[in-house]
């Protein structure tokens, strides 16, 4: 399966989760995501996500001087970012449970709903409609 499409949908929550553990600069966040198993994450995607999350008020930033090169811009999660992380984590867990259920061999639960008489009958075949 091509994980790049999946990654696009969860990159915000992945970056927030990394920064919830410890502040970090751009490439440090990339490195930690890859170490966690997201090997296909792109540098540009992470940098863009950091900028967007910062602009949306989920992150703070500060500059740390470096003796061996340019100063580094660090990002940290704030209270708003932690709220976003909590909400997105719950959404991810609900989605993952649903996918696990669909992909398992266990029977799917049925919903107890009453039929809608105005809804089209999906059990009809093309022959029935002629």
pLDDT tens string 43-63: 999 999 999 999 999 999 999
Quick one: pLDDT band at residue 67, thresholds 50, 70, 90? confident
Q: Which residue has the tokens 């009809």?
A: 124
- The CA-based dihedral angle spanning residues 101, 102, 107, 113, taken in that order and rounded to the nearest 10 degrees: 100
Of 30, 31, 11, 32, which Cα lies nearest the Cα of 21?
32
Predicted model pTM? 0.78
Quick one: pLDDT band at residue 121, thresholds 50, 70, 90? low
The two structure tokens encoding residue 115: 């039929």
Nearby residues of 35 by Cβ (< 8 Å), 6 or more positions away: none
Q: Is 117 helix (H, G, I), strand (E, B) or coil?
A: coil
């Amino acid at each position: 399966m091509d994980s790049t499409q999946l990654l696009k949908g969860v990159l915000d929550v992945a970056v927030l989760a990394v920064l919830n553990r410890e502040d970090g600069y751009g490439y440090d966040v990339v490195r930690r995501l890859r170490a966690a198993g997201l090997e296909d994450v792109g540098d540009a995607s992470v940098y863009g996500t950091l900028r967007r999350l910062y602009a949306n008020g989920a992150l703070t930033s500060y500059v740390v001087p470096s003796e061996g090169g340019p100063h580094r811009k660090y990002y940290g999660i704030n209270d708003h970012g932690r709220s976003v992380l909590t909400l997105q984590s719950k959404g991810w867990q609900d989605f993952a449970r649903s996918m696990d259920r669909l992909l398992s061999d266990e029977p799917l639960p049925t919903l107890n709903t009453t039929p809608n008489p105005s809804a089209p009958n999906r059990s009809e075949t093309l022959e029935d409609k002629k």
